[in-house]
Amino acid sequence: MAKIIAIINEKGGVGKTATATTLAYLLSKKGHRTALLDFDGQGHSSIIFGVKNPNKLEVTINTLLRKLVEDEPLPEPESYIIKTGCGVDLIPSNTQLFTLERNLCNVDFRERILTQYIDTIKDSYEYIIIDCMPQMGTPMINVMMCADSIIIPTQAELLSAQGLAELLKHHQAIQRNSNHRLRIEGILITMDSPNTILSAQVNDLIQRGFADKVPIFKTHIPRSIKVAEAVLHHQTICEFLPGNPAAIAYGQFADELLSGGHGKIAERSI
């Protein structure tokens, strides 16, 4: 049965998609049966994994959730799960997902629709990685209800770090009241520019604010323009340029995650 790991931060542009796609890629390369659920209406994970125009797809996660709400049978997974070239199975998304919050508002047990869906594919994988949308609300509560754990990418800048406290409150409430197994794998610092004053200050802020509350990955992902360039080639940085410092750091992050050795003290590993 799959471990469900959600990549969450309600702030936009902090590296959720880069982290979700790269982690899924690395897990698959290590031989784990891995699926990536694109749970963001922007469909960026779908695009990185080779979907040219997500809005032309017939079946996306939104279609599947709508069928569950309307008590209709789901199509066979083989008919809609996209087998990507890099070995990851993709459950795609497109702009229809932006209507999910509104469509769920009068639905009974609306916080558990995604759990219902995940239950239908969970036995086929070792890992299901969820790339989340940058906002809280019913769709994100659905994610926290079905996930085993969450990773919180945070850009090394002040405004990104400030949103963390709010997210931790949501996590605590859901863990206490509904999904007791939901744990935080850790905060992952992304787009870091080591050796800058800003990076040192934000790192210090995150340490002082959170190190006694949640684990912080020792590995930081450095900023590299090549991460954005890889997207143009529909690839993650690890496939596009395995020797790039961000690719190497993502590899170290994946090892840290799998070894369970990510502690509470963040030391620079790069």
Contacts with ligand ATP, residue ranges (CB under 6 A): 12-18, 40, 42, 44, 134, 190-191, 221, 223-224, 227-228, 231, 246
Q: How far is the CB of 180 from ligand ATP (least distance, A)?
A: 27
Q: How far is the CB of 127 from ligand ATP (least distance, A)?
A: 19
Of residues 23 and 64, the one with the C-beta less far from ligand ATP: 23
Any residues with CB less than 8 A from the CB of 17 and at least 6 apart, and which? 7, 40, 44, 45, 48, 131
Torsion 252-256-257-259 (CA) sign: positive
Q: How far is the CB of 53 from ligand ATP (least distance, A)?
A: 18
Distance CA 63, CA 131 (A): 17
What's the residue count for the chain? 270
Of residues 9 and 28, the one with the C-beta less far from ligand ATP: 9
Are the C-beta atoms of 133 and 40 separated by less than 8 Å? Answer: yes
Of residues 118 and 247, the one with the C-beta less far from ligand ATP: 247
Of residues 94 and 190, the one with the C-beta less far from ligand ATP: 190
Of residues 69 and 202, the one with the C-beta less far from ligand ATP: 202
Q: How far is the CB of 141 from ligand ATP (least distance, A)?
A: 18
Token pair for 174 = 């859901």
Q: How far is the CB of 46 from ligand ATP (least distance, A)?
A: 12
Question: Which of 226, 163, 216 minimizes the C-alpha distance to 189?
Answer: 216
Q: How far is the CB of 212 from ligand ATP (least distance, A)?
A: 26
Any residues with CB less than 8 A from the CB of 133 and at least 6 apart, and which? 39, 40, 41, 42, 97, 139, 140
Of residues 63 and 190, the one with the C-beta less far from ligand ATP: 190
Other Cβ atoms within 10 Å of 208 Cβ, number: 9
Q: How far is the CB of 42 from ligand ATP (least distance, A)?
A: 6
Of residues 60 and 190, the one with the C-beta less far from ligand ATP: 190
